[in-house]
Amino acid sequence: MVLKIDRSADGKYVVLRLSGRMQSEHVEQLKAEMEDVDGVVLDLEDVKLVDREAVRFLSECEANGTELRHCSAYIREWIAKEKNTREPK
C-alpha cells in the first residue's frame, strides 16, 4: 500500500491530507512537500499504519510547530513514547 498525499489550502495553512500506510520511504517525499511552505498541517485521519521512522518524523514535525490533525490514538501514543526515549533523563 502506498501513501497518498492530497494538498489543499485551509485559510493561512497548507493542509496535506495523508491516507494509507506511512513508512520511512515516504519521509523524504513529505519533507519535499513541506519545503518552503509556512503553516503546514498534516491531516492523518486516513493513515492506517505507520512505521517507526514515520513516527519519528511526525514527532519532529510536531516539535517544530506543525499541527497533526486527526491523529489516531495509537499514533499519538507512539509519538509520546518516541519523545520520551529521545529526551535526556
Q: What is the pLDDT of residue 35?
A: 92
pLDDT, residue 13, reads: 93
Task: Give me the pLDDT at residue 3, please.
Answer: 94
Q: What is the pLDDT of residue 1?
A: 60
Cβ neighbors of 60 (< 8 A, separation 6 or more) are: none
pLDDT tens column, 55-80: 999 999 999 999 999 999 999 999 99
The H-or-E segment that residue 13 falls in is: strand 13-22
Catalogue all structural domains in the chain, each as residue range(s) with its CATH number: 3-86 (3.30.750.24)
pLDDT tens across 12-65, in order? 899 999 999 999 999 999 999 999 888 999 999 999 999 999 999 999 999 999
What's residue 10's pLDDT? 81
What element of type H or E holds 56? helix 52-63
**Residue-level pLDDT at 11:** 84
Task: Give the C-alpha separation, 50 to 44, whole Å.
Answer: 11
